A and B are shown apart, each in its own frame.
Chain A
Amino acid sequence: MVDRRLFTRALVAVGALSMAAAGSLASFAAHAQAKQPIKIGFSMALTGGLAGAGKAALIAMEIWRDDINKKGGLLGRQVEFVYYDDATAPAKVPPIYTKLLEVDKVDLVVSSYGTNEIAPAMPIVMRKKLVFPSLFGLAVNDEFKYDRYFQIMPAGPEPKTDWSRGFFDLALQQNPKPTTVAIVAADAEFALNAAAGARANAQKLGLKIVYDKTYPPATTDFTPIVRAIQATNPDIVYVGSYPPDSTGMVKAANEVGLKAKLFGGGMVGLQFAAIQKNLGPLLNGIVNYDFWVPEPTLDFPGVKEFLAKYQAQAKDKGVDPLGHYLPPYAYAYLQVLEQSVQATKSLDQAKLAAHMHKTTFKTVVGDVKFGKNGEWAKSRVLMVQFRNVQPDNLEQFAGPGKRVVLYPKEWKSGDIVYPYKQ
C-alpha cells in the first residue's frame, strides 16, 4: 500500500519533469536558426520611462540596418537584429543578454539605451569578452574599467564631472555670482552619477551646497521636494532625473513657483519631442544638457539627411517625430561598429576593440574618437536653454531658435537669459 502510493507520486513527479523537458526541447528546436546572417543582439527600452527615446533609437538602428543591407551587408552577409524590450527595468537586462548569447547566439552585441540599462549588462559582456558599443550611459565604465566598452555619448574623458561642467561654468560667468546650489537626483544609477559630478564641480568652484538629497525612482509627487528645495533658497538648482521625474520636476517647479536663478542641468527627457510639446512654455529658461539641436553651429555632414529619413519613418509610428536626441547617435554607434568590422574584415571581438580604440570615425554626429576608458576623448556636452517656447506646438522645435546652445564656446549659438524665470 505504501509502495503503491509512493510509486504513484514518484511517477507523477517524473511525468511532470519529462513533460517539461519535452516541451522545452521542442521549443528550443523551433528556435534553432540558420547561421548565415550576422546577428546583432541588444535590449532596448521600448516601454517604460525611457521608451520615448528608446523607440526612436530602434527606428534609427533599423534605418542603419536597411542602409547597410542595401549596400550588400557586412562582410557580404545580411545583418539581422535580435532584440527584446527591457521596459526600462535594470533587472530585466541580464536575462535578456543571457538569452541573446546562449539561445539566440548573436554574433555581436550593442547596448540598450540609458545608464540604468547598460550597466546591468556589463558583467555578462565582460565575462564573454565582447566588444560593447554603448548608447548613452553616464560613467558606466568608471566602475567596471572594461577595455572593450565604447560610449557614443560625448560626455568626455571624465564623464561624471564633464557632464555638468558647462552648467556650473555658465553659472559662475554671471553677475552677481551665485553662491548656493541645490542638487537633487533620482536614486538610480544615472542620476546618482550626474549628481556626484555636480557635487564635485560645485565643491571645486567653491559653491555652497544647501540641499543634496535623492528621491525614490518611483516618485510621482514632486511638489514636496521642490518646496523643500525652495526652503533652502538656492541660487542654482541642479537636477538629475529620468523622463517621468523630469516632467514631474518641471511641473512642480512651476506649481510651487521656484525662485532659483538657474534650473536644470541633467534632466533626461526634456530632449524628447513629445515631452517638449507637452511641457511647452514651462520649459522656458531651463538650462539643460543636450547633444544635438538644430542650431546652425551643429550642422554635421549627413545629419540632416539622416533626420529626414528618420522623420519619414517615425511619422506613423507614434514615436518622437523629430528625432533630434537619440536617433543620430544610435545611427552613429552602429556606424562605428560597421566601420570597424569592415576595416578589420572580421567579427573578432579583440580586433574590433583594438580598432575602435585607435581610430577617428566619421559619422553623422561628426568625428568620433574614443579615449582609453571608452569615453569620448573630448567632451561635447552642450548646455542648451529653452527660449520662446509656445504652448502645444511641435513644429517650433524642428528648426533653430528654441533651444539655444550656450556652451561650449565652439558650438555656442546664443547668450544666456539669467535669472531663468522671466
Chain B
Amino acid sequence: MDLFSNAIVAGILLGAFYAAVAVGLAITFGQLDIVNIAHPAFVIAGSYCTWIINTRLGLDPVLIGVLLTPIFFVVGAGIYRIYYAAFERTGQESLSGLAFFFGMMFIIEVVLILVYGVDYRLVSAGYIGGTIEFGYVGIPFRMLVPCVVAAAVTVGVWLYLSRTFTGRAILAVAQDRLALQLMGADPVRIKQFAFGLAIATTAIAGSLLIIIGPVEPSVGRVYIGRAFAIVVLGGMGSIPGMIVAALILGVVETLVGTFMGPSWAPAVAFGVLLLTLAIRPTGLFGRQ
C-alpha cells in the first residue's frame, strides 16, 4: 500500500512535468499541425543551456529556464520562418516537414554529443536531494519543484491561449485561416508567434528536466513518444485534454515501472500512443 501510494504520488508529480514538456507540442502539433518531432531535442538543448549557466554562474535552474525563454522564442520564430518558406508556402507540409524536423532533431543531438560528449550532466540547487514526508509518502524536492513550475507554465499557457487575442488567434488559425485574415490578423505572423511560444516552453521544460535527473543528449528520444502520446491522447487542439493525458501517462508509467519493472517503462508511452491511434485517434477531448 505504501509502495502504491508513493507510486501514485510520484506519477502525478511526473505527469505534471510531462505536461510542461508536451504543452509546446500541443501548440505546434495540436493547433498548427506542424509535426515538430524535434520538440524533445529542444528540451534537451534547454537542459544543456541550463547546465552551462548553472555551472558557470550558479543561478537557480528554474530562474535560468525563465531567463532563457526569450532566446528560445526567437530561435523558434526563426525556425518557423524557414519551415514556412520551404514547406508551408508550397503546400508540402506534412511529410517533408516531418523529415525536416527529423533531421533537425539529429543535428541538435549530435552537436550536443560532439561538443559535450555523452556524459551525464546535472545541476546543483539547494533543494535537490531533500525529501518532504507526509506519513509514509515521501516527495522529493527535485520532483516537487518541477511539478509546481510545470503546472504554472501549463496553466499559464492555457489561460493565454483562451483569454488573450493573440492566444485565441492561435487557436483560430488552424481552424479557419480565412476568417482570421478577415479579422485583421496575419495568419503567418500568428503561426510564427505560436511556434516561438512553443519553443520558448522547451527552455523551461529543459531546466525542469535537469532538476529531476541527470541529462545526456540521447535522453530526449524517450520523450518523443511521451510528448506525442500525450498530445494525441489528450486530443488535438485541447490543452485541458493534454493535461489530463499527461497525468494519466505519468501515473501509468510510474505504476508499470514500480510493479512490472523499470525495463517496461519506455514501452508505456509508445504503447499508449499506438492504442490511441488505433482505437480513438481523436483522443479524449479532441475536436472532430
Contacts and interface: CB of A to CB of B under 8 A. Distances in A.
Whether A and B touch (Cβ < 8 Å) is answered with yes
Interface of A: 47-49, 51, 87-89, 187, 213-216, 218-221, 223-225, 227-228, 231, 244, 248, 251, 254-257
B106 interface: no
6 contacts: A51-B117, A214-B263, A218-B218, A224-B257, A227-B258, A251-B129
A216 B262 contact: yes
B119 A48 contact: yes
Interface in B100-142: 117-120, 129, 131, 138, 140
A254 B129 CA distance: 8
Interface residues on B, range: 20 to 34
Nearest to A254: B129
Interface in B1-26: 2-3, 6-7, 10
A227 B118 contact: no
For the complex of A and B, 7 pairs with smallest distance between CB atoms: A220-B213, A47-B117, A215-B262, A231-B3, A216-B263, A48-B118, A224-B258
Contact of A220 (B6, B119, B120, B140): B120
Contacts of B214: 220, 244, 248
B262 A220 contact: no
B261 A213 contact: yes
B167 interface: no
B70 interface: no
A244 B129 contact: no
Contact of B212 (A88, A213, A221, A228): A221
A238 B261 CA distance: 17
Nearest to A215: B262
Contact of B7 (A221, A224, A256, A257): A224
A187 B263 contact: yes
A244 B120 contact: yes
Given A220-B120, A244-B214, A255 B131 contact: yes
B140 A227 contact: no
Contacts of B281: none
Nearest to A46: B117
Contact of B119 (A51, A213, A227, A255): A51
B219 interface: yes
B28 interface: no
Contacts of A48: 117-119
B258 A220 contact: no
Contacts of A223: 10, 140
A216 B119 contact: no
B69 interface: no
Nearest to B261: A213
A224 B254 contact: yes
Interface of B: 2-3, 6-7, 10, 117-120, 129, 131, 138, 140, 212-215, 218-219, 254, 257-259, 261-263, 265-266
Contacts of B254: 224
A219 B140 CA distance: 17
A47 B131 contact: no
A154 to B, nearest CB: 28
Contact of A224 (B212, B262, B266): B262
A221 B140 CA distance: 11
A228 B265 CA distance: 15
A110 B131 CA distance: 46
Contacts of A87: 117-118
A227 B129 contact: no
A30 to B, nearest CB: 23
A216 B3 CA distance: 20
A212 B268 CA distance: 22
Given A48-B117, A228-B3, 11 more contacts: A216-B265, A218-B218, A218-B219, A220-B120, A220-B215, A224-B10, A224-B258, A225-B262, A227-B3, A248-B213, A256-B131
Nearest to B214: A220
B119 A228 contact: no
Contacts of B263: 187, 214-216
B79 to A, nearest CB: 28
B6 A227 contact: yes
A89 B138 CA distance: 35
A244 B121 CA distance: 10
B253 to A, nearest CB: 10
A228 B255 CA distance: 11
The winner among B10, B254, B257 for most chain A CB atoms within 10 A is B257
A235 B261 CA distance: 21
A231 B120 contact: no
A220 B219 contact: yes
Contacts of A231: 2-3
Contacts of A89: 118
Nearest to B117: A47
A10 B261 CA distance: 54
A78 to B, nearest CB: 31
A87 B113 CA distance: 10
Nearest to B218: A218
A47 B119 contact: yes
B262 A219 contact: yes
A74 to B, nearest CB: 33
B55 to A, nearest CB: 13
Contacts of B7: 224, 227
A255 B118 contact: no
A221 B258 contact: no
Contacts of A255: 129, 131, 138, 140
Nearest to A89: B118
